Amino acid sequence: SQGTVADPAAAAPSTGRNIPLSFLTVSIPVHYQISDLKAYAYNYANSGEVLEQVANREVVRYFAETDTRELLSKGQEFAAAELQRRLQARIDSDYHLGVKILFLGLQDIHPPVRVAADYEQVVSARQGVETNRLDAVAFASATNLLAETEARRIINEEGARSTNRLVEKVATAARFTNLLTAYSASPVVYRHRMFLQAYTNGLANSRKIIFTSTNMDEVIQYDAQQRLSSDIIQRLAPPKK
């Protein structure tokens, strides 16, 4: 035999303003087999109606203690099995209907039409909260990653700069050792070489006049009004404040 449990929202108790405590509409087909014909026929005048009422009561009790989001998503299979177990235990212990529940299904679970819009707003708000949370997690991850990358960059730059300074100081020390060795070998030659090197460096960017004739007198004329070049003017200009 087959019975259909009534809408739990209609079977649920109401408040003083006649507002159902349940906020889900669901169709629950129940397939059962008569296991004790005598009990089914003589214990109640209409055993089918008794079974329907008991099923409605168990459905309302179960839905009242179950998370609605689970029922509307992934908890329907577990809910159907649990309801079948509870219903069978109830009719065996308290009512002795003489029936065996073969199948109990959950179909068309959704909020009642009157509250569907409000329910969608609640679901949308929850999704918005979760979206904001995930955005915050993503932002925190990106920020932390950038901070770690910047920290590693600074550490690497400072390490490279420190290494360069160390190499430079080691090279300077080695050069001084070599100069000291050259001076010890020939102080006069060393002094002349250092003088010529300093003299060459000092005249590197200076203007020079080369006289190729040695057997005649030269008359040198110098234009004191010669205009200075732009780079010299920039060097002579006072620094900007």
152-184: pLDDT as tens digits: 999 999 999 999 999 988 888 888 888 888 888
Q: Minimal CA–CA distance to 3: which of 41, 46, 37, 39? A: 46
Between CA 59 and CA 64 the distance in angstroms is 8
Phi-psi region of 12 (alpha: psi -120 to 50; beta: other; left: phi over 0): beta
Extract the tokens encoding 160.
């490279």
241 or 25, which is more confident:
25
Q: Does pLDDT of 134 surpass 50? A: yes
Instruction: Give the number of other Cβ atoms within 10 Å of residue 90's Cβ.
Output: 16
102 or 235, which is more confident:
102
Q: Minimal CA–CA distance to 27: which of 6, 43, 49, 10? A: 6
| Mean pLDDT value across residues 145-151 | 89
Q: Does pLDDT of 14 surpass 60? A: no
Asked if 223 contacts 230 with a C-beta cutoff of 8 angstroms, the reply is: no
**pLDDT in the model for residue 115:** 64
**pLDDT in the model for residue 226:** 59
Residue-wise pLDDT for 28-40, tens only, equals 888 999 988 888 8
Between CA 32 and CA 40 the distance in angstroms is 12
pTM metric for this prediction: 0.41
Domain ranges in the chain are 2-110, 114-203
**pLDDT in the model for residue 89:** 93
Strands (E), the chain: 2-5, 25-34, 99-104, 107-110
82 or 217, which is more confident:
82
Residue-wise pLDDT for 40-88, tens only, equals 888 888 988 999 999 989 988 888 887 777 777 677 888 889 999 999 9
pLDDT band of residue 198 (cuts 50, 70, 90) is: confident
Percent of the chain exceeding pLDDT 70 equals 71
H or E, element range at 231: helix 230-236
CATH superfamily of 2-110: Band 7 domain (3.30.479.30)
**pLDDT in the model for residue 90:** 92
Extract the tokens encoding 69.
């989001």
Between CA 20 and CA 62 the distance in angstroms is 15
